[in-house]
Structure formats: C-alpha cells, structure tokens
C-alpha cells in the first residue's frame, strides 16, 4: 500500500511539473473539487485559530438608515500603512478561514493596519447598502492615514468591489488610495467574454451561470436571464456591478493576480489591457496552472505571490 501511494505521489508530481505548476497547486485543486462535492460550510469568526482571532478587534459597527449593520475588524491598529481588504464569495458567501489566514500573513509580513469589513451580502442586501457603508469606512481610515499610505485589496467579488469603490471616489470628492491589489477580481458580471468557455472545463471553483445569478441578487434584480446574455437594461452592465464598464482611467496603480485555470482570466487579461491603454499603471501576475484566488491557498505559487504583494506594500 505504501509503495502504491509513493508511485501515485510521483505521478502527480510529474504531472504537475508537466503543467508548470507545483504539486501543492494540483493537490489544492483536488481538495477544492472534493469540498464542492461535500458542500462544506463557511467558517465563522468563532472557529478561527487563536493566532488569528487574537489580532481581531471589532473597530467599527457601521449602520445604514435602514439599520443594515456592518462590523469592521482591524489588525495591527495604529500602524503607518493601512490596507482595506474586501473578501470574495460572489457577494453571497461569508468570509472564510482561507481569507483570514491570508490576511494574517499579510499583517505579519508587512506590519500594516488591515481593515476588514464584513459587508452585507445578497440576497438580503444589495450593492447600494454596501457602497454606503464602505464610503463611511474609507472616511474613517482617512482620519488617521494619508491616501498615499492606504491600499485597497480584494479577491474575486471583493476585487470587483474594490475597483468599483475606487471608480466611485471622484464623485464623493475622496482621494484615490495608493494602489489597488486585486486577486482574481470579478470585474464583469455579464460573463459575456467569448473566451470564458476555453477555461470552463479546468476551473474547479466557478460557474458562469451561477455567478450571473449571484450578481443579479447583488444588483437587486429578480428576472431570469434567457440565453445567458443580460438584456441591455440589466444592472449587470452597470459599473457598480461590473466595474470594467466604469471610468477606470481614474484608478491608481493596479496589481492583478490571476490563475490560468479560472474562467475570470479572459476578463482580467482584457482589463489589464484597457487599464494600460487608459494610462493606468497596471501589472499582471499570472499563476501558471493555478486556480481562482490562488494566493489564498497553501502552495509555492501563493507563497511567491504573497512575497511580491508584501514587497510592494513595504516599498
């Protein structure tokens, strides 16, 4: 039995080398696929490891006019540099242990103050409430930090949310942060890029149809999209939901991270090109053979991405 396991491990390692990704990247993908089959629940704050939970402090409890509450946690309070981190989950899923573990690594390696809003989710809430609360959060951050000391960071839906928030800042007469650090950002909820189909079979996490349904909930729409293409009057074309259609020329420096085994890759490639054509400084970091939000998983590729991210923040 041990010999069989040894040969299986060797075969997997050879396969991962052939595809230009590490063994751990291949292993992580298999875990992702199995976890989806088992419908594993999200992990709440109450079960976080002590090394992470001890750092967490509910810094703010922000409330909208209709009594929608958003707690905001803070790590390394009082540090010079500040990161506003917006978690992913298609706007319908809670923050997970993978997010907190990633945040804890960034906090330890940079010493930066990190604000983590637990923003209201669809379908109970829409983007309108969240944008109101995030505006208040950024106002609070600017009370103690210069814009040049602030970074917006987000993964997946949180990455799209971070971009849309930056696009909204000029209308609020608020300054842009120093930089946007985006991990597999979901920037086009219409899912109409024809190249998406080329990645559908290898992506173990995302499904275009499911994402569009989640986006409709986030936008406050309840009509079924026929044929997979949103009608012209759908909110999915609005920049609040799909910031790739917004005024992205106002954005600060952008760092994009994406894996070659995720359906968001075509839109991220397109976004990188559009940013550069608009005069925005944009850098694209590709995780070859890696999945969606790969910096959050325990792989050599993630370790390298975290090193790069921390180096930028520590500049």
Dump pLDDT digits (tens) for 49-70. Answer: 455 555 565 677 888 777 788 9
Separation of first and last alpha carbons in the chain: 51
Average pLDDT over residues 13-29: 46
Residue 120 — very low, low, confident or very high, per pLDDT cuts 50/70/90?
very high
pLDDT of residue 93: 92
Residue 54 has which token pair?
Answer: 């001890």
* pLDDT number for residue 11: 39
Mean local confidence (pLDDT), 101-123: 93
Average pLDDT in the chain: 85
The more confident residue out of 211 and 13 is 211
Give the pLDDT of residue 55: 54
Please state, in angstroms and rounded to a whole number, the distance separating the CA atoms of residues 116 and 112.
Answer: 13
Residues in the chain: 315
Pair type for strands 113-117 and 82-86 = parallel
pLDDT of 16 higher than 70:
no
Name the token pair of 189: 């909820």
- The values of phi and psi at residue 61, to 5°, are -130, 90
* Cα angle 185-187-192, degrees, rounded to a multiple of 5: 125
**Which residue pairs, CB below 8 angstroms and at least 24 apart, start in 33-41?**
33/204, 36/204, 36/205
What is the pLDDT, as a whole number, of residue 46? 45
User: What pLDDT sits at residue 245?
Assistant: 98
- pLDDT exceeds cutoff 50 at 185: yes
List residues bridging with 157 in a β-sheet: none
Torsion of CA 8, 14, 18, 20, to 10 degrees: 100
Residue 112 pLDDT > 90, yes or no?
yes
Q: Are 121 and 148 in contact (CB under 8 A)?
A: no
Cis peptide before 123 (omega within 30 of 0): yes
**99 Cβ neighbours under 8 A, 6+ residues apart:** 85, 87, 88, 155, 296
| 93-124 exposure pattern, b = at least 16 Cβ within 10 A, e = fewer | eebbbbbbbbbbbbbeebebbbbbbebbbbee
Q: Which domains does the chain have, with CATH numbers?
A: 48-313 (3.40.50.1820)
Cβ contact 84:112 at 8 Å: no
pLDDT more than 90, % of the chain: 69
**Tokens describing residue 136:** 């208040």
Cis peptide before 232 (omega within 30 of 0): no
pLDDT at 190 over 70: yes
pLDDT score, position 35: 42
Count CA atoms closer than 13 A to 245's CA, side-chain side: 14
CA distance 193 to 214: 18
What 8-state DSSP symbol labels residue 171? G
Give the angle subtended at the CA of 214 by the CAs of 210 and 218, to the nearest 5°.
165
pTM for the model: 0.85
What digits encode the pLDDT tens for the residues 275-309?
Answer: 999 999 999 999 999 999 999 999 999 999 999 99
Report whether 91 contacts 157 (CB < 8 A).
yes
Closest to 309 (Cα-Cα) out of 296, 290, 291 = 296
Q: What is the 3-state secondary structure (H, E, C) of 62-74?
A: EECCCCCEEEEEE
Q: Which of 26-30, 173-177, 183-187 has the lowest mean pLDDT?
A: 26-30
Higher pLDDT, 273 or 204: 273
**Has residue 1 got a pLDDT over 50?**
no
Tokens of 182: 């985006």
- Residue 53 confidence (pLDDT): 55
């Amino acid at each position: 039995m041990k010999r069989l396991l040894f040969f299986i491990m060797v075969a997997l390692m050879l396969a991962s080398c052939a595809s230009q990704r590490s063994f751990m990247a291949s292993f992580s993908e298999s875990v992702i696929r199995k976890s989806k089959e088992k419908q594993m629940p999200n992990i709440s704050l109450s079960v976080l490891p002590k090394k992470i939970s001890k750092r967490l402090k509910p810094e703010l409890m922000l409330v909208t006019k209709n009594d929608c509450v958003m707690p905001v946690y803070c790590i390394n309070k009082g540090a010079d540099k500040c990161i506003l981190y917006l978690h992913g989950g298609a706007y319908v899923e809670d923050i997970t242990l993978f997010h907190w573990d990633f945040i804890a690594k960034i906090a330890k390696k940079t010493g930066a103050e990190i604000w983590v809003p637990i923003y209201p989710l669809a379908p109970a809430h829409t983007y309108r409430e969240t944008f109101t609360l995030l505006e208040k959060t950024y106002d609070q951050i600017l009370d103690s930090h210069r814009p040049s000391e602030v970074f917006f960071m987000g993964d997946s839906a949180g990455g799209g949310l971070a971009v849309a928030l930056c696009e909204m800042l000029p209308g609020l007469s608020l300054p842009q942060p120093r930089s946007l650090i985006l991990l597999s950002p979901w920037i086009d909820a219409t899912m109409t890029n024809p190249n998406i189909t080329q990645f559908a079979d290898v992506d173990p996490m995302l499904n275009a149809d499911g994402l569009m349904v989640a986006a409709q909930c986030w936008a406050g729409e309840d009509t079924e999209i026929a044929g997979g293409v949103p009608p012209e009057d759908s909110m999915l074309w609005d920049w609040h939901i799909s910031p790739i259609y917004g005024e992205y020329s106002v954005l600060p420096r952008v760092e994009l991270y994406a894996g070659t085994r995720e359906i968001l890759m075509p839109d991220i490639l397109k976004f990188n090109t559009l940013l550069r054509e608009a005069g925005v400084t944009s850098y694209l970091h590709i995780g070859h053979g890696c999945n969606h939000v790969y910096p959050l998983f325990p792989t050599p590729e993630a370790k390298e991405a975290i090193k790069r991210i921390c180096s930028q923040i520590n500049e």
